[in-house]
Amino acid sequence: MALALLAGGAHAWSMAPVARGWLQLLSVAALLALACAVPPPRAWLVGGAFGLGWLGGTFWWLFISMYRYGHLPAWLAALAVALLAALLSVYLALAVALFVRWKRDQLGPDLLLWGGLWLLAELARAQLFTGFPWGAAGYAHVDGPLAVLAPWVGVYGIGAVAAGLGLLVQRGLAMPGVLPRLGALAVTGALVLLPTWTGGDFTRARSVLSVTLLQGNVPQDEKFEFSRLPDTLDWHIKALLASRADLVIAPETAIPLLPEQLPPGLWEGLQNHFAQGRTWGLVGVPLGDAEQGYTNSVAGFSAGAAAGAPVYRYDKHHLVPFGEFIPPGFRWFVDMMQMPLGDFARGPLVAPSFAVGSERVGPNICYEDLFGEELAARFVDAATAPTVLANVSNIGWFGESVAVDQHLLISRMRTLELQRPMVRATNTGATVAIDHRGVVTHRLAPHVRGVLEAQVQGREGTTPFAWWAGRFGLWPLWALALGAVAVVARRRTSN
């Protein structure tokens, strides 16, 4: 179990601060070797320990938000993170236990069984009980050969393929003799490179937009401090007004007050500035009222808009548990933390794009870009599908941690799945522009106050992933995984 915990930690390290696909494969191989070395009734303990090391090593930074900003006792904050990681590890523990029990020691059936069980474990973590799929295995392969599978099967499909390759590595290293081992690893390497033959663009280029991305670097403990609000507002408003790009974007809750709470004339002044100019603006701001509910939103100001024209509005759909809504039965836990947490209303799944000249910009807020199947729902109608994606975030809750690098990998995977460029305007980082192939083309250093000028080329067309995930969500992957496991389990029973 100690070795499994360490292997799980290595699995977490394979995804940040940079992607290390080779380490992810070796970690899975180590998990399988350890699980198969213990009596079958104990295999679930190995899987659980690996999951604890993986997930605890992935989102340990939740401790920062609860301890530093929520003022929980250190022991309680650490315990909360550990319990969350342990709870979410149950899926993997069950997958490992079933694999050890049902495996046939035949490569073909075992590949099918292990890939299906791994996929089921990741899908369960992604979707059951609100879902928290941060750190899915596929993110380790953003910069590797398996990345070309993203527009076909998405991050979870990549993870299932990688799980199968991990089994090949484990079986290869277990073979007697040096030459057979080298031969098996060579075959595995060739299979890793095989997907590169499926590469190619499913989308076509459109026009180029110049963009200005703001990074205010407002410390989280000062963001909602009344005495600090004038400086925060002043910097963001001045940067918005100074932009001469086609589009300027300010981060999530860059304006942390409702429009009616702002100094008189400020909101109207913003509308008039953009309406009379040639620049479009997207600004993170809370919207709503007590009767209709409040939303974590993005407001869009259009260049050349007619007087009295409504402001574009995007409301966040996928809310963060505890941060933006309180799960039933957990009010007591939230009340223990001295944090300005909201209980927001949920926006629609399929939101209209924001028209910027001839391009259509699709906003998403914070960790919404973690859910590629939900972004894909906007691509069902090609005539209204986004040609550019824009993420506005504030992960200042997690300090100067690896969360910034992890979130960048997540955004890059979405650009690969959907073959759309994405621009990211964040409070503390990573403020970047990413092209449709997942390459960061412009970058601002994290944890500094600054402005990033960049260019981004819109794209049109639909990837296979966007087509099937937009219509059916992740159900095709569920069916594929369940079918693979059922086939192997049935044949084992019949034999």
Residues annotated as part of the active site: 252, 316, 366
Structure-token match 């960048």, residue found: 408
Judge whether 61 and 402 are in contact, CB under 8 Å: yes
Report how far residue 209's alpha carbon sits from residue 207's, in angstroms, rounded to the nearest whole number. 7
Phi (first) and psi of residue 202, to 5 degrees: -100, -5
Sequence-separated (6 or more) residues with CB below 8 Å from residue 390? 249, 282, 361, 362, 363, 364, 422, 423, 424, 425
Q: What is the DSSP string of 187-243?
A: HHHHHHHGGGGG---SSEEEEEEEEEEEE----HHHHT-GGGHHHHHHHHHHHHHH-
Bridge partners (DSSP) of residue 325 are: 321
Please report, for residues 173, 184, 218, the alpha-carbon distance to residue 221 in angstroms, rounded to integers and kept in the order given.
50, 54, 8
Enclosing H/E stretch for 385:
none
Question: Rounded CA gap, 310 and 300, in Å?
Answer: 9
Q: How far apart (Å, rounded) are the C-alpha atoms in residues 224 and 340? A: 8
Q: Tokens 């589009």 — which residue?
A: 247
Q: Can you say how many angstroms the Cα of residue 244 is from the centroid of all Cα atoms in its chain?
A: 31
372-to-263, 355, 395, 480 alpha-carbon distances in Å = 38, 22, 19, 18
Please, where are the H alpha helices in 36-148? Answer: 43-58, 62-64, 74-88, 90-102, 107-127
Using only C-alpha atoms, the chain has a radius of gyration, in whole angstroms, of: 23
Dihedral angle of Cα 28, 33, 35, 37, to the nearest 10 degrees: -170
Instruction: Tell me whether residue 490 is exposed, middle or buried, using C-beta atoms within 10 angstroms of its C-beta: 0 to 12, 13 to 18, 19 or more.
Output: exposed
Nearest C-alpha neighbor of 125 from the set 478, 479, 487, 483? 478
In contact, 231 and 218? CB cutoff 8 Å: no
